[in-house]
Amino acid sequence: MILPNVNIEIVKECTGYFLTSGFLALTFALSKRIRDFIIGIFITILAYLVNILRILLISYFLNLGYRTIWHDILGYIIIIIFAPLLSYLYLRLIE
């Protein structure tokens, strides 16, 4: 996808980093077996992919000419939706 009107700068305070690092911490905290750890790493990779999807959606809307408020709206909506879903998936899989 080519987005000529958008410059993307990802900083360390990005909410997507919190999602990915949160799942990595959850993996280290709750993994009792190697199987749990592997499932946690898989969920962390899914969280990383969700973050990439978030960045692409934000870039797309910014390219359409919308204001940067889409960063806050889309960013937090995606985090609020996917953080509980991925947490629930991880906890169900390690049960």
Q: Is 35 a catalytic residue?
A: no
Q: Which of the residues 14, 35, 67, 92 is marked catalytic?
A: 14
Q: Is 54 a catalytic residue?
A: yes
Q: Which of the residues 33, 35, 54, 92 is marked catalytic?
A: 54
Contacts of 93 (CB under 8 A, 6+ apart): 39, 43
The per-type count for the chain, helices as H runs and strands as E runs, is: 3, 0
Catalytic positions are 14, 54
